[in-house]
Structure 1
Amino acid sequence: MRHQPISSELFVANRARLTAQLLPNSLAIVHANDVLPTNADGSLKIFPNADLFYLSGIEQEESILLLYPDAYEPKHREVLFLREPTERLQIWEGKKLTQEAAVAKSGIQNVRWLSEFPRALRDCMLSADQAYLNQNEHRFANTTVETRDSRFVKQCREDFPLQSFRRLAPLLHQLRTVKSKPELTLIQEAIRITQAGFDRVLEFVKPGVSEFEVEAELAHEFIRQRGAFAYTPIIAAGDNACGLHYTDNDQICRDGELLLLDVGSNYANYNADMTRTIPVNGRFTPRQREVYDAVLRVMNASIEGAVVGKHYRDWNHESQLMMNEELLSLGLLTKEDVAKHTRDEPACRKYFMHGLGHPLGLDVHDVAPEDAPFADGWVITVEPGIYLPEEGFAVRLENDVLITADGPVDLMREIPVEAEHIESVIADAAVTV
């Protein structure tokens, strides 16, 4: 755990919000993620399960949370199961949570070892009227690899065939979409670290540096401030930026090129997501500048349009209509092209082919109910772009925005984005070198 301790009050409140949504006499079970293998006897560092962390603050492998608020036995109402920190385990893998430490982190008073889980599960299953089981139900999830949750669902159906099972994910999606004040504080810290990394890059970038050197500058700044990359960074110079998810980051940044940076820091499992496009030599060409300003206008207008009650599909369509007009002014679309625009076949698709943004939180592409309108407490990204492979560059800009009843709040408003500001910071850095 690199991040500073988080008050267990956050997780106590999250559990209370969930249990209030459960049907009477129900239990819910949430597992940690698998530790994934690499090659030979290697394994990746565990990636904490977002739902387990949201409900408990626990980031340790093989952990299980059982919630049964209406249980007759008080000891079954809220139980956290952990690997027992034996001497051998800690010699080979390092320190593991003690029961006392887990209580302090989670606010869960009943912490037991994993060896006790099968009996507790049977007792609760035979008493409950229904059981909520969890799975990754993100719309774009890659489900080719069987997960710990999936194996558990299969086992439960075999062991308790007459039990009534329900989906936990829809409830958690609704709850996780609305961020509490402590969650917003963690997201803002991730954004602050991201800004520090970007400031460092503005002082570093010049013709001749490599994309991976830029990535290293960001890694240095993120790690030294208790952060980490929220996702694999995109450091794309020139026409590399026209590949939406280019991550090779192995080319040279050349004089006259633009450098697209799609990066964000993770802090305490909460994420920032930022995109900036900067001139490698410190000055935009006239053509680069007019494309840049067009994207910036769409981003700013889309931030203003992110209001309570609006549906994503309508917000996204508004951005496409704005982008049509910008592309018309840039000479990239004709009036005839714009006249043919439909929601299914937007005129701007050739140059702006992706969605305008996504929810942000414990996942970079965070969970949210698909058909729900924006609500007070949502955090979303706003990321329009124009991609011109024929001209050898692309511009994408992205800020993170909090939706409130009083209007949208740009959480990245302090991070340089105006073209003049970008050029000024780079110029000042060059003078001080």
Structure 2
Amino acid sequence: MRYAPIPQELFTRNRHNLVKHLKHSSVAIFNSNDVMPTNADGTMPFRQNSDLFYLSGIDQEKSILLLFPDARDERMKEILFVRETNDHILKWEGYKLTKEQAREVSGIKTILWTHEFKSVLHTLLSEVEHVYLNSNEHPRAVVEVESRDARFMKWMQQQYPLHKYERAAPLMHLLRAVKSEQEIELIQQACKITEKAFRRVLGFIKPGVMEYEIEAELYHEFIRNRSRGPAYQPIIASGANACILHYVDNNRACKDGELVLMDFGAEYANYASDLTRTVPVNGKFTKRQLEVYDSVLRVMKAATQMLVPGNTLRQYHQFVGTVMENELMQLGLLSESDVRNQDPQKPLYRKYFPHGTSHHLGLDVHDVGDKHRAFEEGMVFTCEPGIYIKEEGIGIRLENDILITGNGPVDLMANIPLDAESIERLMQKA
């Protein structure tokens, strides 16, 4: 892996926290992700299953984690199965983890080869009543490809129909929503790489530059700083493209007098960062652009202060909506009478601000978590208000990553230039 070694204590603690929530006489089984095909004999870059990585630190395909806290044999309480290598694999694919290396990474003492899994499982299940299986239960997930977990679930229920099956996902959502100190450090490192990338493109952007050229500059800085690349597909949207929320074509020339909205973030050790900045292509905001920019910034600052323990997403978004309404009225986009008479279920500000302000951030950029759960110390959220005026060809979004603490919100991107004056000064200096 490109990233620096992670202390195994992180993964040991994560497993300890999970097994406390398992029913008596249970096993929990987690599979690695598939290596996804492209065409012919091609494959996509491998991305580990977030839950398996969270519990083991193993970043290799064809890995399986089995947790059996009530096992009578101490060696069977935690078992990690990894792919056995050979000379052919070494020659064509490179090195795979040895048992000792897997033990050092994960903190798990019992390491077996993946081909031993079914026989070991069959022996253990005679002592087991409940089987926890994992699945992707993110509320925004659209799953059209059968995953390794889904195939395994079918196989288990067919082979062992009399066991009681439980869902691991709710437990993982509960645990992963609150980040440990080590996880926060990894997210912070991803944010630092993102900062370097942003400062790099500030000196690169000018009229005539293609959106994909900006994207290429980001990749350069990500990879040279031990990141595998972006945590998600970057959005580089100039002009009216900025009003398309998930625009990823990135194939248009940036023109003089326009803005370019850039939504991107580096990953580091599988942890995500998520930044959005909107800057003038020529290095100088117009009067109208600056008015809208400062409105978005005021909403962002007000929203950030609401990311505190005890608040909820529902209350938070209601507050942000009220702040946004006031800003849109100041910009002449909404009238007081229209706001006063609006349908509360269909607030008018949604025309100019159609998306949510925050989401969980962690191993996934839209990380898992219960939207009804009150905010707690250790949670990390994005804060990303925006105003999109299609008629004027203006789309402005600003976004930082915020850690919730008992002493108030901590901006993990506080060192990344944000206010319009700083942006202009840096662009003109370049």
Do residues 417 (structure 1) and 398 (structure 2) align? no
- The CA deviation at 1:344 is 2.5
1:76–1:120 CA contact under 8 A, matched in 2: no
In the alignment, the residues of structure 1 paired with residue 425 and residue 371 of structure 2 have an alpha-carbon distance, to the nearest angstrom, of 41
Distance 1:12 1:319 in 2: 39
Task: Report the alpha carbon displacement of residue 342 of structure 1 after superposing the two structures with TM.
Answer: 4.8
Question: Aligned residue for 1:256?
Answer: 257
Contact 1:317 1:343 in 2 (8 A): no
- Bigger mean CA offset, 187-196 vs 334-343: 334-343
Alpha-carbon offset, residue 275 of structure 1:
0.2
1:345-382 alpha-carbon deviations (Å, 9 max, x no partner): 11201100001110000000000023211111000000
Q: RMSD across aligned C-alpha pairs, in angstroms? A: 0.9
Residue 311 to residue 341, structure 1, CA distance change in 2 (3 Å): farther
SS across alignment from 1:348: helix
**1:132 is the counterpart of 2:132:** yes
Q: Which residue of 1 aligns with 2:58?
A: 58
Deviations 1:112-157 (A, max 9, x none): 0011100111122221121111001100111221111011111111
Write the distance in 1 (CA, Å) between the matches of 2:142 and 2:46: 18
Partner of 2:185: 185
1:347 corresponds to which residue? 348
SS of 2:276's partner is strand
User: How far is 1:195 from its partner?
Assistant: 0.3
Instruction: Give matches, 1:23-422, under 5 Å.
Output: 23-227=23-227, 228-422=229-423
Residue 428 of structure 2 corresponds to 427
Q: Unpaired runs of 5+ in structure 2?
A: none
- Alpha-carbon distance in structure 2 between the residues aligned to 1:255 and 1:212: 17
Distance in 2 between residues matched to 1:131 and 1:35, nearest whole Å = 25
- Structure 1 gaps, min length 5: none
Q: What amino acid maps onto 1:388 in structure 2?
A: I
List structure 1 segments (4+ residues) > 2 angstroms apart after TM superposition: 340-344
Secondary structure of the residue that 2:42 maps to in structure 1? coil
TM-superposed CA distance for 1:164, in Å, is 0.5
Alpha-carbon distance in structure 2 between the residues aligned to 1:337 and 1:229: 42
* Shift of residue 343, structure 1, vs aligned partner: 4.8
Counterparts of 1:338 and 1:229, CA distance in 2: 40
Mapped to 2, the partners of 1:380 and 1:193 lie a distance apart of: 18
Q: 2:203 aligns to what SS in structure 1?
A: helix
Rounded to whole Å, the distance in 2 between the matches of 1:216 and 1:403 is 33
What letter corresponds to residue 374 of structure 1 in structure 2? Answer: F
Mapped contact 1:340–1:347 kept (Cα < 8 A): no
Residues 351, 388 of structure 1: 8 Å contact kept: yes
- Tell me the distance in 1 between the aligned counterparts of 2:278 and 2:341: 30
Task: For residues 6-28 of structure 1, give each alpha carbon's deviation from its aligned partner in whole angstroms, at most 9, with x where no partner exists.
Answer: 11111111111111111122110
Give, in whole Å, the separation in 2 of the partners of 1:340 and 1:274.
Answer: 36
CA distance in 1, matches of 2:216, 2:54: 30
Taking the aligned partners of 1:377 and 1:342, their CA distance within structure 2 comes to 36
Partner AA of 1:147 in structure 2: S
Q: Say whether residues 1:6 and 2:6 are aligned partners.
A: yes
- The residue type paired with residue 225 of structure 1 is N
Q: For the structure 1 residues 270 and 343, does the alpha-carbon distance in structure 2 shift closer, same or farther, using more than 3 Å as the test?
A: farther
1:46–1:61 CA contact under 8 A, matched in 2:
yes
Measured in 2, the distance between the counterparts of 1:150 and 1:210 equals 41
CA separation in 1, counterparts of 2:121 and 2:151? 15
With over 3 angstroms needed to count, the CA separation of the structure-2 counterparts of 1:304 and 1:123, relative to structure 1, is same
* Aligned-pair identity (%): 53
Aligned partners of 1:164 and 1:174: how far apart in 2? 21
Q: How far 1:411 moved relative to its partner? A: 1.1
- How far apart, CA to CA, are the structure 2 residues paired with 1:343 and 1:425? 42
Aligned counterparts of 1:180 and 1:17: Cα–Cα separation in 2: 12
Shift of 1:160: 0.8
| CA distance in 1: counterparts of 2:394 and 2:338, whole angstroms | 22
Of 290-299 and 119-128, deviating more is 119-128
Counterpart amino acid of 1:288? Q
Counterpart mapping for 1:17-28 below 5 A: 17-28=17-28
1:5 alignment partner AA? P
Q: Distance in 2 between matches of 1:421 and 1:341?
A: 38
- CA drift at 1:341: 4.0
Provide the TM-score with structure 2 as the length reference.
0.98
Equivalent-residue separation in structure 1 for 2:78 and 2:359 (angstroms): 33
